Amino acid sequence: MELRERIGFFLNNLNIVQKLILYIVCIHFFPYLIDVVIYLFKIKFQSQSIFKWFYISADFTELIFKPWSIFTYGFFHNQNSFSHIFWNMFLFYYFGSIVLDLFGKKTLKHLFFSGIIAGGITYIISYNLFPVFSGIKSSMIGSSAGVSSIIFFLTFYNPNYKIRIFFFDLKLLYLAIFLFLYDIIQIPYGNAGGHIAHIGGAIWGYYYYRNLYNSNFIDSFFKFFESSKNRKTLKKNGDNIFNQNKIDSILDKISESGYDSLSKQEKEYLFKAGKKK
């Protein structure tokens, strides 16, 4: 098997969470490669002058000239902090995989991408609303808002879901409360834009949960970003509902003993039910 075929086989076997992580990591390291070329060939050019066009700015004037940045900022991370991308991708993999199993890849993508946008909007509004940010030239990157929307969406869907932290189990509700309060408290002490974006993502996660089965809401939000061939109105009917009683039973088991307690058949059943939705 040739290298090209091996790469294709590898990519085809990745789920949407793994693919998004791969794309984001590649984007993160791409500026390093550009800087190596610039250094070796003594090119008088700064790579950041290119990539800053993808960073979101709180300045409305800049936003007018790069409206795409309200989305693209979520795919870049701090080049000087490996922990920035590591923790975002770690949490995205952990919680994103749960959303993928329960609701399918469409919900996962919609929730993650719209969470990034919601975090960006919250950041822009806050920096133009509160006097403390007046006159500050600020820009922001990172997928934290999208990850935050996933965590809080799951929290409202199943607050008693237990996650394993070292040697003890913790209810997702308690983790979410801690994260939300931490972001609020940390605003005055640095990275205010990031913490505000997290809060925006959290609020969006709740709003998305409230409208989860409102197909008109979900489709209308994304129809601007989707091609016309994918703009179909979802309809609720008996075929869309796998077996709610069985699903509820499995979710109760997750709540009591965690996701890892499920059998292979139960995990597969949830995955198929999620794809139906």
pLDDT at 161 over 80: yes
Beta bridge partners of residue 139, listed in sequence order: 57
Neighbour tally for 129: CB within 10 Å: 9
Domain residue ranges of the chain, discontinuous segments joined by +: 3-234
Residue 277: what pLDDT?
52
| CA dist list (Å): 83 to 90, 91, 233 | 10, 12, 40
Start-to-end CA span in the chain (Å): 37
Contacts of 257 by beta carbon, 8 Å cutoff, 6+ apart: 162
pLDDT bucket at 7, cuts 50 / 70 / 90 = confident
Between 231 and 221, the more confident residue is 221
Overall fold of domain 3-234: Rhomboid-like fold (1.20.1540)
Higher-scoring residue by pLDDT: 68, 255: 68
Residue with tokens 């709610």: 244
**In contact, 219 and 114? CB cutoff 8 Å:** no
- 8 Å CB contact between 87 and 21: no
- The answer to whether residues 125 and 56 touch, using CB atoms and an 8 Å cutoff, is no
Cβ atoms within 10 Å of 23's Cβ, excluding its own: 11
Of 81-95, 184-198, 247-261, where does mean pLDDT reach its minimum?
247-261
Q: Are 258 and 94 in contact (CB under 8 A)?
A: no
pLDDT band for position 8 (50/70/90)? confident
Query: How far apart are the C-alpha atoms of 61 and 31, rounded to whole Å?
Result: 26
pLDDT of residue 264: 73
Instruction: Report the pLDDT value the prediction gives residue 229, as an integer from 0 to 100.
Output: 45
- Average pLDDT of the residues of the chain: 86
Give the single-character DSSP code of 170: E
Q: Which of 55-64, 140-149, 245-254 has the highest mean pLDDT?
A: 140-149
Model confidence at 50, pLDDT cuts 50, 70, 90, reads confident
* 38-67 average pLDDT score: 89
